[in-house]
Structure 1
Amino acid sequence: MADPIALDSVWLKAHPLPDHQDNIDKNGRGRVLVIGGCRRVPGGMLLTAEAAFRAGAGKVTIATIASAAIAIGVACPACAVVALPETANGEIAPESADLLLAEMAGHDAIVFGPAMIDEDIVRQLLAALLPALPGDMFLLLDAAALRAASEHAEAILARGDHSVLTPHAGELAAMLGADKDSVARDPLGALAQAAERYGAAVMVKGATSHLMGEGNCLAYAGGGLGLAVSGSGDVLAGLIAGLGAQGLSPLRAAAWGIWLHGEAGRRLSERMGPIGYLARELAPLAPGLMRGV
């Protein structure tokens, strides 16, 4: 395996953001559908949705449990909201699949998994959604969807290079059916296995985050300890999806998302201290960071 390439401003300038024309409308800027949430974590979708907007997406729709939908819509008035049937435990119900299939067609990128807990329900929804997903649609699987992904590896692989998977070491181990300690000992080896098995752009989060896809391996060492906080991964997922909705490939969208997320953490740590800032404070820094590259 070749040595990883540094994910820095040099790489980013060589792989720039979309060059939008002045006459482009909000639909042309990219439409993101965020699917997730549960009664225990009803607000997690807000972090992902805001991050998608901050990354430049023109429209964002949140599909979540019906009991949280009104509050979500009021908290994020720029978002459309789809109220989904829910189980007695407050999870998205499996029979939501038909509503989600009808909704997907109007979007350019889908984020599936944030703030979901029940892995069995996630598996059922993936089984219904993956075969119907347009082959060229940008798909990001996060959180509970990553732990359920191993049962759908062939369907994800069949999508070619139109998917992004964003695990930490424990989720990467679940994706491979491996022991977490073995992944921790050789994260790059595990990452290579996952990229081959799923045919997607795959990252593994850590003090140094690595991203593999399109025959490349990138490394970002930055951000700091403060990024290890609840909701941080939801923000990262939104940044990546917002960029993917605008036409960036999974590798480029993930690379820019990782860098924006990490540099936002670095700036907050310099301003506020190494820990103690909130995940919701990351996304507002993304537009300025993009302008600065």
Structure 2
Amino acid sequence: MDIISLEKSHSLTQSVWTSEQIRIGERLAAANAGITLFELMTRAGQAVFEQARRTWPDAHCWWIFTGGGNNAGDGYIVARLAQEAGIQVQLIQVGDGQRLTGDAATARDYYQAQGGVIEQLNSAQGTPDLIIDALLGTGLTGPLTGEMAAHIRHINQSAVPVLAIDVPSGLCADTGQILTEAVIASQTLCVIGLKLGLLTGRGPDVVGTVQLADLDVQPLLNKELQQMPVASLMHWHELRSALPARRRGAHKGEAGRLLIAGGNQGMSGAIRLAGEGALRSATGLVRLVSHNSHAHWLNMMRPELMTASFPDFSDWAWADTLILGPGLGRDDWAHALFSAALESGKPMVIDADALWWLAKRRASLSEPQPWVLTPHPGEAATLLHCTVAEIEANRLAAVQAIQQQYGAVVVLKGAGSLIADEHNVRLCHYGNRGMASGGMGDLLSGIIGAFMAQGLAPFHAASLAVCLHSLAGDMAAAQGMRGMLASDLLSPLRSLINQDDDYDNTHPKFDSGR
């Protein structure tokens, strides 16, 4: 069976599913393959055992924490295989292991038949070299309390590597939400198919490095389910072929005319970053329309940018695409600029305070618009008139709700950014925590607008830009994540769009740092 890293483009790492889709699909796939679900469980346990030996070959004392569902069955199989290999095993059962049923009970019986002992945490001896998390997996049903929460806290305080089976216990497999406690894994071995919650929301905080074990049935999943995955994972190697091309004799006007409107008093940096991001993404002409208090000097250190001031500016027809919002503000001047830009009827990237003005209209749009909206969770909450907690509780539902209400392509920013149009959702697994700094969103809006100005449709422009922006952040992080600035991404951004080889196979992905 294949163990596949997400850091490399692979057909098995393109589809992202809900846990219910996987549960239904694995039953159908197993039946189609002529094997039992216990055989699938055995394959999962074997894959976890082999991955643990491969990653931590010097670990000779394993503690395996098991709960009350099928994830526990996987843990019992791992324990039996480890014991057979001469590894010192302590299997710590949360709750009454005799209450397990079905395949999990069978796995427990095989383990005990070979002399395996079931322990409680207070009777475990020594110190482990490795912990295997087989407590809950996809079996989370609500907030954790009592014994389960206490065991998860013990795991997190152990200061040894942790391998989570399928999903770190306490993390919602479908949303990436953590209700109370969650295991903080060094590595997560996801089985059969990728679950959405591993890759967005709080998932990236706790999964460590994600690997996928297909158990030799994943290729049957699409066929048996006869339904689409909830999202598709983006890989730069595949997307970069969509970069806009220029004919040899092209002139600057053919490479797109982009107008960026914003930059209120005291917020000139936002529009400047968006403009530089657009230039480094190969837009032919970029003009900044901003407050007259600074419009005349915005391009002093970047003469390739053109400038204009509002309300004097009225040449909206000049642009192929508009970006509206970086540094816009919420005063009367901002409202006038917002209204004028919206009346232009141009394809548009709407970001930052322009999203606040859009939300104030409190009206659904009757027809789809050639727009890309780029909210972070706070702005998404404003667009949907709800709380940030409600957005983060289900990011997939949030991005789809915004798309349906506003009729635009939507980029819901954050860890595991989601890009949605009317029919598809894409997920970006690149990026790092160093990108949590001011100006990153302004830079992203510039890149999206650049690709739209060069002729890409909004969904493709947004997908390509989010992927490129995140990878540039990973390259910039080679100099350290702390203190990383949005402008640090400009040089790697240019390098990436000129790169001919396969990034995913030649450049290591920076993990979460665990």
TM-score, normalised to structure 1, is 0.87
The answer as to 2:472 corresponding to 1:264 is yes
| 1:230 aligned partner | 438
Question: Partner residue of 2:117?
Answer: none
Q: CA deviation at 1:45?
A: 1.6
Equivalent of residue 356 in structure 2, options 147, 150, 174: 147
Question: What are the Cα deviations for residues 26-62 of structure 1, in whole angstroms up to 9, with x where unaligned?
Answer: 0100011111112222222211111001111000001
Deviations 1:109-156 (A, max 9, x none): 1111101221665444433432x323xx3200110011121234658x
SS at match of 1:37: coil
What does 1:168-183 align with in structure 2 at a 5 Å threshold? 168-183=376-391
CA distance in 2, matches of 1:120, 1:187: 33
Letter in 2 for 1:44: A
Aligned to 1:3: 230
2:174 equivalent in structure 1: none
For the pair 1:25 / 2:251, whether they are aligned, the reply is yes
Give the match for residue 127 of structure 1: 339
SS in structure 2 opposite 1:283? helix
DSSP-derived class of the 1:77 partner: coil
Give the deviation of 1:19 after TM superposition: 2.1
| Match in the other structure for 2:497 | 290
3-state SS in 1 of match to 2:294: helix
* Residue matched to 1:39: 265
| Higher RCO, Cα 8 Å, sep 6+ | 1
Moved more, 120-129 or 62-71: 120-129
- For the pair shown, the structure with the greater C-alpha radius of gyration is 2
Which amino acid counterpart does residue 349 of structure 2 have in structure 1?
A: L
Answer whether contact 1:225 1:274 (CA < 8 A) is retained: yes
Tell me if structure 2 keeps the 8 A contact 1:139–1:163. yes
Choose from 278, 281, 297 the match for 1:52: 278
Give yes or no for the alignment of 1:117 onto 2:343: no
The equivalent position to 1:166 in structure 2, one of 365, 374, 382, is 374
Using the alignment, how far apart are the partners of 1:239 and 1:192 within structure 2? 23
2:248 and 2:352 map into 1 onto residues whose CA distance is 36
1:66-215 pair list within 5 angstroms = 66-84=292-310, 96=311, 99-100=312-313, 102-118=314-330, 121-130=333-342, 132-134=343-345, 137-152=346-361, 157=365, 160-215=368-423
Task: Using the TM superposition, give the Cα deviation of residue 74 of structure 1 relative to its aligned residue in structure 2, in angstroms.
Answer: 1.6
Aligned CA distance change for structure 1 residues 119 and 252 (closer, same or farther; 3 Å): farther
Distance 2:487 2:284 in 1: 20
Partner of residue 488 from structure 2, selected from 258, 281, 286: 281
Indicate conservation of the 8 Å contact 2:419/2:463, yes or no. Answer: yes
* Counterpart residue identity of residue 150, structure 1: A
SS at match of 1:61: strand
Counterpart selection for 2:450 from 215, 220, 242:
242
Q: Secondary structure at the match of 2:418?
A: strand
Matched with 2:111 is: none
SS of corresponding position for 1:33: strand
Distance verdict in 2 for CA 1:64–1:178, change over 3 Å: same
Structure-1 separation of matches of 2:352 and 2:399 = 17
Size of the aligned set, in residue pairs, is 273
What percent of counterpart residues are identical?
29
The Cα RMSD (Å) is 2.0
CA shift, 1:267, in A, is 0.8
For 2:468 and 2:288, how far apart are their aligned partners in 1? Answer: 22
Tell me which residue corresponds to 2:163. Answer: none
- Cα distance between partner residues in 1 of 2:380 and 2:333: 20
Alpha-carbon displacement from aligned partner over 1:233-253 (angstroms, at most 9, x marks no partner): 111011111111000011111
Partner Cα separation in structure 2 for residue 59 and residue 17 of structure 1:
17
Provide the rounded CA distance (Å) in 2 between the counterparts of 1:139 and 1:37: 17
Q: Distance in 1 between matches of 2:265 and 2:347?
A: 27
Contact 2:257 2:286 in 1 (8 A): yes
Give the TM-score of the pair, scaled to structure 2: 0.51
Say which structure is richer in helix: 1
